[in-house]
Amino acid sequence: MKANKFISSETAWCPGCGNFSIIETLVGVLNKLDLAPHKVVLVGGIGQAAKTNQYVSANGFSGLHGRSLPAAVAIKLVNDDLTVIVNTGDGDSYGEGGNHFIHNIRRNVDITHFVHDNQIYGLTKGQPSPTSDACDLSHKTSACNLSVPFNPLLVAIACGATFVARSFTGRKEHLATVMEAAIRHKGYALVDILQPCVSFNKVNTYSFYDKRVQELDASYDASNKMAAIEKTMEFGDTIPIGILYQEQGLTYEGKNPQLFNDIPVIHKSHDMANVKALIKEFI
């Protein structure tokens, strides 16, 4: 039996929060992959979901609101032997971090992005996020959007993402399979995880998702980009979950090896000569 190297600690989340399923599944997958905790970096921005890295025994980095992706990309580019995983919210990823979302996908750096999508701003107590369902003023609930809801999976494919998936915290086995495939994928991997916020989102509840999610069947071809684009637009009475799109393209690192030859910051060994060269570069 593999050792339990990654453990999670007490959290500040509400009882029943979907974040619990995600953290438990994440820890299970990291243990299954038998990675060394000092070779894993969990990155987040600001929000309830973004606290994940503070509760798992691995390296962690908490950035500013919306800035988890550039931090993760930087960490990966200077330490390509690290497994870099972002855990953060839909607001952090698609709202405050919207611009970073688009342009970091285009790079296809080998990082994994788990979005805890509760369709609401949880930490700040329930304002609509970019993925909140649409509504109009006559049918307004707290968790709804007067603007057109943001479709993260469609945008990701349009930006050239090489792994695009959706899962649900109410289907833990499915979540574990998709999370593992995302971490194993070489390149940017997005998993939008439907995650009920039991305190502030009274619309998108466990039973709301349970009635609608539908696992992609075995005949679904995740390499067909046009079919995947169409699938990303299904989000209503049925919500498809699974790997909607995957291709094995070259990563940014693999495509541009010459970029990493002469830049002192990229030095991987930690001897004093490199540290001095690094300091000299910045003074």
Ligand X SMILES: Cc1ncc(C[n+]2csc(CCOP(=O)(O)OP(=O)(O)O)c2C)c(N)n1
- 152 lies in the binding site for ligand X (CB under 6 A): no
| 169 scored as a contact of ligand X (CB under 6 A) | no
Residue 92 interacts with ligand X (CB under 6 A): yes or no: yes
Burial zone of 3 (CB within 10 Å; 0-12 exposed, 13-18 middle, 19+ buried): exposed
Complex with ligand X: residue 86 or 222, whichever CB lies closer: 86
* Closest distance of CB 125 from ligand X, Å: 9
Among 59, 129, 169, 232, binds ligand X (CB under 6 A): 129
Running DSSP on this structure, what letter comes out for residue 1? -
Site track for ligand X across 31-50, x = CB under 6 A: ---------------xxxx-
C-beta of 102: minimal distance to ligand X in Å?
17
The residue of the chain with the least Cβ separation from ligand X equals 89
87 near ligand X, judged by CB under 6 A: no
- Considering CB under 6 A, how many residues would be counted as binding ligand X? 18
Contact 93, 130 (CB under 8 A): no
Cβ contacts of 41 within 8 Å, gap of 6 or more:
58, 59, 60, 61, 72, 75, 82, 83, 84, 85
List 85, 123, 155, 190, residue binding ligand X (CB under 6 A): 123
Instruction: Report helix, strand or coil for 145.
Output: strand
Interstrand relation of 133-134 and 144-145 (parallel, antiparallel or unpaired) = parallel
Task: Please identify which residue in 124, 141, 214, 256 interacts with ligand X, judged by CB under 6 A.
Answer: 124
Q: Cβ closer to ligand X: 19 or 232?
A: 19
115 lines the binding site for ligand X (CB under 6 A):
no
CA 272 vs CA 164, 262, 265, 275: distances in Å: 41, 18, 13, 5
Say if CB 54 and CB 62 are below 8 A apart: yes
Binding site for ligand X (CB under 6 A): 46-49, 65, 89-92, 96, 116, 118, 120-124, 129
